[in-house]
Structure 1
Amino acid sequence: MTRPGPTVEADDLVPSGLTFAEVSLRLSHVYPVETSPWGVRTFRFDILVDGTVTGTISLRPAVTHLLTHLSGQVGFSVEPGFRGRGLAAKAVRALLPAARAHGLDALWFTTTPDNAASRRTLEKLGCALVESAAVPADYVSHGSGEQVKLRYRLELLGKV
C-alpha cells in the first residue's frame, strides 16, 4: 500500500482489516531484519479510532531471548489524551490475526513493575505473569535505571 512518504509493503503474513471494537490498525512501517532494533522483521501499526491516530502497536513475530525476556513480541503506546479507554487491549486483540498468521501460538509481553497501566492492560487481556526477571547490565534500558522486567504470556488458542 502506498501513502504520502515512504512506501510500506505488507505481505500475506499481515492480514488486512485488523480491527477490534472501535479500534482499527493501519500498517505504518515495516522494519527489515537489517535495520530492526529487535533483530527481526517488525511490523508497526497506527492505532486508529474514527480515523484518528491514538497510538502505535508493533508486532515482532519471532521467538528470541530478547523478545521473550526483555522487549516482548508486542509493544504498544497510547497517546496521553486517549489513555484510560482500553485502547491498548483492543489494539492487541486486533493484532491477534497477524500473530497467528506468523505461526505464533502465544505472545510474550514485558513491562516494568512500576508501569501500572501496562500491567492492567496485560491482566485485562488474560495474560499470565510468568516471572520477574533481572535486566542484564548490557541491555539498553539498564543504563536508564531499568533493573527488572515482568514477563507475561498470552496464549492465543481460542482468543478473539
Structure 2
Amino acid sequence: MEKLTHMNEQGRAKMVDVTEKQETVRTAHAKSCVVLSKEVYENIIQLKMKKGDVLAVAQVAGIMGAKKTADVIPMCHPLSLTGVDISFSWQECEDGQYALEIDTYVKTKGSTGVEMEALTAASICALTVYDMCKAVDKSIVIGPTYLIEKTGGKSGHFKRQEE
C-alpha cells in the first residue's frame, strides 16, 4: 500500500515537507459564479447597494482571501504570492436572473502550487457579494466554484476540459 503524504507515522494529519521541492513559477486560474435577481443585479451595476460598491469590495476581499488561504485551510503552506488578479463578467440567465462570473488568477514562485489560493479568492469574492446583497435578496446562489487551469510544479500543466 502506498504511503499517504499527508499522514504521519501515527496516521494523523501533517503538513507535507516541501523543503526539497524545486521552486518554479506556479499559476492558477479558478472560477466561481453568483446567481442573483434582476433587482440585485441592477443595484450592483448602478452602485445603489447600501453597503457600497459590491464588486470593488468583493475584489479586495478576494485578494485578501488568497493571501490568507493558509490561515483557513489547515494543510496549506503559507505562500508569498507574486500576483493576484480578479475579474468579473455578467451573463443574463434564461429565467430572468443574472449570473456574476468571477475569475481569479494567482501567481507565485515557490515550491508548492497556488490552486487553493485561487479557489479561496473566488469563494471569498462570491461570499462577499452575498454578504453585501443579502438585505435585498437572501435567495442568491453561489457556485459552482472550480479550478480552470494550473501551471508549474512536478505535476505540470492542468487545464479543465470544456463540458
TM-score range, shorter chain: 0.3 to 0.5
TM-score normalised according to structure 1 size = 0.33
TM-score normalised according to structure 2 size = 0.32
Whose relative contact order is higher, 1 or 2, with alpha carbons under 8 Å and at least 6 apart?
A: 2
